Structure 1
């Protein structure tokens, strides 16, 4: 039987991380029940797995684009369900895939009811397409990684403000025709920062503007979480920032005083950890621990985006349990409208959680928080969260392209 069963990954077993694949099985008995499994190991050596039960059609075939999972890690028709439902045996594990040069490798397999393997195939999901380049940058106060698309350009320039260094999103954006500089908000332990200097991030903006491959004068900034308020501050205070994608961040400067040109420009919005909500899984909901930025004593932390000429894309998940992203977004939209501004777009995902990432990676409902240093609940209904990631990935690229002037024709992603 094993030699007759075929497991195919279409159109190719090797693809970009953000591309879907079609999983098909042939050669089974008519109406045969089988278990489909996926397995992958992250960069820290943690094994993630998923499984789902399927029934073959009358011809002995299964097509995950068409057929529903009857039970397992998910139920219903989900073509990429085996990927988004990958999880570790232990709680609070985030799938670390942060290095652009190493592929995300997933082993798919088909098992009969007794457990015997009938067929296997390996999906190699790469972050850098053919011709894209990666360069470490250590210049002045900049500690980052630069990704350049194939070709001569000119290309639009984007700074990816990740809370901690991750090459996943910036490398994938380079495949789409953007020059991207990945810069972490925290290059050291957050507790070692008594103040944050906006000048250091301004250096990164200027670095991008001076690159020969970059077209146009403006730089885009994409951010999430703590990176969100740094991105807003760049738009409000630093010339050259033309477009900002703010994903599940805060409207105020969180946690650390922000300085620019040797003067404090924003006070820190602090936390009250007594307002955390513990859960049975030993992870905490910290959404309600953040002080209200609209209270009089906290207004010095609000980022004055109403003074910015940049264009904003605000993205908020209503099930973000890290903080009140939807509330912060609504406040910023209302403030800009009050000032007669129309330089913004907003999108809300009702059942998505905090960690909106490029699509087709494993959903992470809870994990160790790098700033507070204990496990937290990120939120998100898995299927809806995965759908939000697919939608946002396309939307943010369209937004950046439309607001970053560049003479180059759109560069297609290449394998």
Structure 2
């Protein structure tokens, strides 16, 4: 490595996972062309990497906030492009982060055109700041993880996840919420014949009883199958004040839904023969679900007009897993027909199904546990999808802070890391109502 070249990650090489950093290189020759690279290994041993070519300015500096990538895994001015454009070394893999106590280590490096490494730096992206607690919960029918900020009290958010991960829940706790995350039971072997809303109500009650929770109501955040469970909780179970629904359905998907030993919703079924294969070997499942508006499926539609909660509906218009934008539009129409105004909606042209907290590697396809061994194409153009994640993540936080009220004086959670006001990075195409 060159002793004159310095790679800097600002304001610190140690930050929260969803916080942006400024990447700068100093000490290059005037107008020198270099390649920037990143590399990480996730918990399953999958390696993700990215690269981009830059030309230094007259002072021998490269600043990713200012300078465009000339080629690589992305092009143009993309300050966080080296992170979201990382690709797996094996097809149909997604970045997995289930151990929130350990930071995700990302190696940044800068290389000459010939490949010689000039400088490197390690970025530790943490899921939890100092003072935050993570507790495994196994009580009754509950199996999940509870995240609690220091001080308090705080509003409570119930995170219903379909892909096992602690990323969203732990990062949301850092914003000033007590968060319980549970994973929807998967039906790998076809053994789950019915879903019971009672088990999710039990988790909600457990969350409400936590000593640092202020207020009687809770919020729910969910995506995909978890999103229709969230809608059902809002419609049938008291105490839900706010629901953030992301790329889900307006009907009960997959299995009959029971509450207090009675079936309340019939299932909206899949037809896997309607999946469309693409050249990568993954399939487009967007039209595999039956039409929830068909007469035979009306018993699966969730009566969201019964809910007293506020709704945030968010859909990626390039979702290739479900027709989420259409389902969102149907819910908006249904609520309007019932004279309801307790909702807001946002859609993202060019964004796919897996809308996550920002700055993780974009996932184009991966194995779906309930698709009988098929890899699913999730949709989304990486650059646009990454910008949508930034916009939606900020919007979700604002939504919960607006509609979840503490009945006790609040304190702000203590952070080790300097907070920076985020700009709204998603500009073109976002549609809000």
Same fold by TM-score greater than 0.5 = yes
* Partner Cα distance (1:260, 1:395) in 2: 32
Pairing 1:269–2:279 present: no
SS of the residue corresponding to residue 383 of structure 2 reads helix
CA contact (8 A) 1:164 1:187 kept: no
Q: Taking structure 1 as reference, are residues 249 and 190 closer, same or farther at Cα in structure 2, changes over 3 Å only? A: farther
TM-score by length of 1: 0.98
Aligned to 2:391: 391
Measure the CA separation in 2 of the matches of 1:351 and 1:274: 26
Task: Check the 8 A contact 1:176/1:413 in 2, yes or no.
Answer: no
Tell me the equivalent position of 2:321. Answer: 322
- 2: distance between equivalents of 1:88 and 1:300? 41
- Equivalent runs, 1:260-409 vs 2, <5 Å: 260-372=259-371, 373-406=373-406, 407-409=408-410
Q: Cα offset for 1:93?
A: 1.2
Question: Which runs of 5 or more residues in structure 2 are unaligned?
Answer: 417-433
Q: Which runs of structure 1 show a deviation greater than 2 angstroms over 4 or more consecutive aligned residues?
A: 187-192, 407-413
CA contact (8 A) 1:165 1:182 kept: no
Task: Measure the CA separation in 2 of the matches of 1:286 and 1:171.
Answer: 30
Counterpart-to-counterpart distance in 2, 1:91 and 1:233:
35
- Evaluate the alpha carbon distance shift between residue 187 and residue 325 of structure 1 in structure 2; reply closer, same or farther with a 3 A threshold: closer
Report deviation, 1:410. 6.0
Note the C-alpha offset of 1:98: 2.2
Give runs of aligned pairs for residues 146-225 of structure 1, distance below 5 A: 146-151=146-151, 153-186=152-185, 189=188, 191-225=190-224
Partners in 1 of 2:83 and 2:121 — Cα distance?
A: 14
Distance 2:74 2:118 in 1: 21
State how far apart, in whole Å, the 2-side matches of 1:173 and 1:198 are. Answer: 24
Tell me how far 1:412 sits from its aligned partner: 4.8
Deviations 1:231-283 (A, max 9, x none): 00000000111110000000000001100000110001001112111101110
Which residue in the other structure is 2:118 paired with? 118
Q: Distance in 2 between matches of 1:274 and 1:52?
A: 40
Specify the alignment match of 1:411 in structure 2.
412
Matched, 1:15 2:28: no
User: C-alpha separation between the residues in 1 aligned to 2:190 and 2:228?
Assistant: 18
Alignment of 1:86-165 (within 5 A): 86-151=86-151, 153-165=152-164
- Counterparts of 1:413 and 1:165, CA distance in 2: 27
8 Å contact from structure 1 (residues 49, 88) kept in 2:
yes
Q: Deviations over 1:44-95 (max 9, x none)?
A: 0011110000000000000000000001111100000000011112211101
What secondary structure does 2:334 align onto?
A: helix
Describe the SS at the equivalent of 2:293: coil
Alignment RMSD: 1.1
8 Å CA contact retained: 1:318, 1:351: yes
1:39 aligns with 2:39: yes
Please give the residue correspondences for 1:238-277 in structure 2 after superposition, counting only pairs within 5 Å.
238-277=237-276
**Offset of 1:188 from its aligned partner?**
6.7
| SS of match in other structure, 1:394 | helix
Superposed displacement of residue 370, structure 1:
2.0
Shift of residue 408, structure 1, vs aligned partner: 3.8
Alpha-carbon contact 2:13-2:124 (below 8 Å) kept:
yes
State the Cα distance separating 1:165 from its structure 2 match. 2.8
